[in-house]
Amino acid sequence: MSSAASEPSKSLPFVEEVEVSGHIIDSLLLPKILDAVTGGGGAFRIKQINVGQGRHEPSYAVIDVMAESEDALADLLGQISDHGAAPTHAQDCRREEADLDGAFPEGFYSTTNQKTEVRVDGKWIEVREQEMDCGIVVEGEGAAAVPRCVPMLNVKQGMSIVIGHAGVRVIPHQRDHEGQVFEFMNSNVSTEKPKGAAVREIAHEMYRNRKEGGKTLIVGGPAIVHTGSGHHLCGLIEQGYVDLLFAGNALATHDIEQSLFGTSLGVHVDRGHLAEAGHEHHLRAINRMRRVGGIAEAVRSGVLTSGIMHACVKNDVDFLLAGSIRDDGPLPEVITDAVAAQEQMRAKVRDVDFCLMIATTLHSVAVGNLLPAWVKVVCVDINPSTVIKLSDRGSFQTIGLVTDVEPFLRVLVQELESLEAAGAD
Amino acid sequence: MCPPDHFRIQYEINPWMDRTHPVSHTRAAQQWNDLRALLEKLGAQVSTLDPVEELPDLVFTANAGMVFQNRVVMAHFRHAERQGEVAHTTAWFEGQGWQIETLPEGCYFEGAGDALFCGDTLFAGYRLRSDVGGLQDLGQMLGVRVIPLELVDPYFYHIDTCFCPLDEKTALYYPEALDDYGRRVMEELVGDLIAVTEEEARRLCCNAVVVGRDVVMNGASPRLVEALRARNFQTHATPLDEFLKAGGSAKCLTLRLDGEEAASWKRSE
């Protein structure tokens, strides 16, 4: 499938979204519809077009039809409906029963991370568990119908899956009703932008979130430990700014390595030079955790007495470690089944209000894919490509900062301290 | 086929029909019997559907549904006058062990009258009788390419009145029954198009039955006979003017149960 969008020939005030499907290219139905719109004094914008690749594969287009007046729009819609262009909002969503486990019926509606509603029996109902790149399953009928996002893998035969765009509407997140926070920022990533103001805004957000009982998720990579910033994160955890930590085997391993041996990847974090046989330290750290039966047990038995993971256990901060193919060990808590890890992450992010991603591409992108667009996300990485990947989720709620981890966390902690000292609202 | 025992002009749902020009029962019966005999002589085996008194157009079996392999997609008529036919034709197909398919509620589809295969593509007429949404659903249901063509002349209200696939690459058509888009599509997708004149079109020459290389129609001009002969088709004229009074001719009076000659699925089975 290919995708394209066309710029409007002109912009007119009255707009209705229509969809048309079938062999609309070969049959010239699409050009005919578009000609009818422009010939009738209207304008159009192709929002989505999937062109069938095979001879028997249908194509599909979603088009905004625009007109000068409501009457003119109604006229145009009437004309083009004869050629199969149907308003997507004037009808109930179409559904088809899943014929297989683990796969959608062809033509399924593919979700975005924006708030979405589907129409069932003439009523618009908000889709639950909003997540991008899923389908929508509708459970129950009529007034009791409950639509929710369902990942492909979780499809069960017989589920009622939404097909096409008809009866589905996406409500883009509004900037203004969220107040002033984050307002000055945008998702443009630049290494040249001043960081101080941005970090202050992030501190404000975390402070407010803690105060209002919101849930803050940290997604962290091992650079937090390598750069000697582990203690900053410990401070945030101890101060109650962190409710949930997602990481991989590496962050936890090097954090524990540092706690047990004072090194991270064999390098003395405080002195910056290699320890003798330091390359073995991380493996010995993992081994010790495996011998005692895990991180929590190591904390309880006094084997592990400091560091990020220690702080999590001591402060009842929930953590999830997702494995990857290059992991040593791994630590006993690491979930090595990627699908199981994704499923648990999905369940845990449901009520997250704020997410801070620090120095990890893999885990940041994974979490970014799970979060709805209205969750504020800050992505901090020395590598602009990671930040851009996250910003490309298409939400202004994602803010990217290209900076080293240590100064970022140091300034963040300072900003939070001054907010606390001032008792800021 | 369905014998014309009850065929008459009882209502007017297309410009051909005029209740002041009644059908001659005797002539209609003779013409129908002649058509049947001709088809049988050309090698066709004819099954019949019992006529029903209150359904005069049941004689036009092409509109009962559209055949695809062992499946038949039943019609949903636009006009209430013909909607009663569906129960009878469905019962007939059920009795013969066909897999019955229906399109979603709310879309009109008038069977093989509006959906003809030429090669692996289903050329379908819309706007006057069938609607385009139903045709798209049909394509999805059968997994075939459907090319909806807008019919712009009310005299040619079904695509089988202005288009007749002869084999996988050859077809008769009446260009004026389509708009510019439809003509361009037809020229693009059908290898060898034989355009008929207005006079031929008005005799419903495109509403022909093809059996192998034999083409059966209601009278043909020498020009058309020659155009077909040049492509190795033999034309057989048989008068059907009594049925033209209702807007139907040879093709409308038949439904090809084993697939039209021009349908490529017929050979790939």
What domains are defined for chain A?
1-87 (3.30.70.2690), 88-172 (2.40.420.10), 176-422 (3.40.50.10690)
CA distance A119 to A16: 16
Q: Provide the 8-state DSSP code for A279.
A: G
Where residue A157 falls among pLDDT bands split at 50, 70, 90?
Answer: very high
The one-letter amino acid at A130: Q
Lowest model confidence (mean pLDDT) among A43-47, A173-177, A307-311, A357-361 = A173-177
Q: Is A82 on the interface with B (CB under 8 A)?
A: yes
Flag whether pLDDT at A288 surpasses 50. yes
Flag whether pLDDT at B245 surpasses 60. yes
Lowest model confidence (mean pLDDT) among A89-93, A203-207, B62-66, B144-148 = A89-93
Flag whether pLDDT at A2 surpasses 50. no
Mean pLDDT, all residues of chain A:
88
- Please tell me the predicted confidence (pLDDT) of residue A172: 65
Interface touch A26/B148, C-beta < 8 Å:
no
Residue B20 falls within a domain, yes or no?
A: no
CATH at residue B115: 3.75.10.10
Q: Which of A264-268, A276-280, B99-103 has the highest mean pLDDT?
A: B99-103
Flag whether pLDDT at A322 surpasses 70. yes
CA distance B146 to B139: 5
Residue B34 falls within a domain, yes or no?
A: yes
Q: Is B262 on the interface with A (CB under 8 A)?
A: no
Residue spans of alpha helices (H) in A168-307: 196-211, 223-226, 230-238, 249-261, 281-292, 295-300
Flag whether pLDDT at A396 surpasses 80. no
- Please tell me the predicted confidence (pLDDT) of residue A174: 52
Interface touch A23/B143, C-beta < 8 Å:
no
CA distance B118 to B190: 8
For residues A143-162, one letter each, b for 16 or more C-beta atoms within 10 angstroms of the residue's C-beta and e for the rest, the string is: eebebbbbbeebbeeebbbb
Map residue A399 onto helix, strand or coil.
strand
Residue numbers of the domain that contains B201: 25-268
Beta partners for B263? Answer: B119
Q: Chain A: give the shortest CA distance to residue B99, in Å.
A: 19
Interface touch B185/A22, C-beta < 8 Å:
no
Residue B7 falls within a domain, yes or no?
A: no
- Please tell me the predicted confidence (pLDDT) of residue A190: 52
Residue B69 falls within a domain, yes or no?
A: yes
Q: Are B197 and B221 in contact (CB under 8 A)?
A: yes
Residue B156 falls within a domain, yes or no?
A: yes
What is the rounded average pLDDT of the residues B33-43?
97
Residue B138 falls within a domain, yes or no?
A: yes
Q: Sheet holding B214-217: strands in order across?
A: B209-211, B214-217, B234-237
Flag whether pLDDT at A239 surpasses 60. yes
- Please tell me the predicted confidence (pLDDT) of residue A243: 97
Distance of CA A231 to the CA centre of its chain: 27
Q: Provide the 8-state DSSP code for A95.
A: E
How many structural domains does chain B have? Answer: 1
Flag whether pLDDT at A179 surpasses 50. no
Q: Chain A: give the shortest CA distance to residue B148, in Å.
A: 6
**Tokens standing for residue A157:** 């035969």
What percent of chain A has pLDDT above 70? Answer: 90
- Please tell me the predicted confidence (pLDDT) of residue B269: 57
Interface touch B181/A28, C-beta < 8 Å:
yes
Phi, psi of A134 (to 5 degrees): -120, -175
Selected residues 199-258 of chain B with any CB under 8 Å from a CB in chain A: none
Mean pLDDT, all residues of chain B:
95
What is the rounded average pLDDT of the residues A328-352?
96
- Please tell me the predicted confidence (pLDDT) of residue A53: 82
ipTM of the complex: 0.88
CA distance A276 to A280: 9
Q: Is A87 on the interface with B (CB under 8 A)?
A: no
Residue B12 falls within a domain, yes or no?
A: no
For the CA atoms of chain A, what is the radius of gyration?
26
Best mutation target, B147, B149, B168, B183, to test chain A (most A CBs within 10 A)? B147
What is the rounded average pLDDT of the residues A243-258?
97
- Please tell me the predicted confidence (pLDDT) of residue A423: 80
CA distances from B213 to A197, B167, B178 (A): 83, 8, 26
Closest residue in chain A to residue B150, using alpha carbons only: A83
Pairing of strands A135-139, B192-195: unpaired
CA distance A345 to A327: 19
B182-197 pLDDT per residue, tens: 999 999 999 999 999 9
Q: Is B128 on the interface with A (CB under 8 A)?
A: no
Flag whether pLDDT at A126 surpasses 60. yes
Query: Which residues in A110-208 belong to E strands, given as ranges?
Result: 115-120, 123-126, 135-139, 146-150, 160-163, 168-171
CA distance A282 to A331: 11
Nearest residue to A218 (alpha-carbon basis) of A209, A226, A227: A209
What is the rounded average pLDDT of the residues B65-70?
96
CA distance B106 to B111: 15
Instruction: Answer yes or no: pTM beyond 0.90.
Output: no
> Which is more confident, A389 or A95?
A95
CA distance A258 to A269: 8
What is the rounded average pLDDT of the residues B224-237?
97
B95-117 pLDDT per residue, tens: 999 999 999 877 899 999 999 99
- Please tell me the predicted confidence (pLDDT) of residue A425: 61
Residues whose CB is less than 8 angstroms from the CB of residue A44 and which lie 6 or more positions away in sequence, other chains included: A6, A8, A9, A34, A37, A38, A63, A64, A65, A66
Residues whose CB is less than 8 angstroms from the CB of residue B267 and which lie 6 or more positions away in sequence, other chains included: none
CA torsion B154-B155-B158-B162 (nearest 10°) is -120
Residues whose CB is less than 8 angstroms from the CB of residue A178 and which lie 6 or more positions away in sequence, other chains included: none
Residues whose CB is less than 8 angstroms from the CB of residue B11 and which lie 6 or more positions away in sequence, other chains included: B17, B19, B81
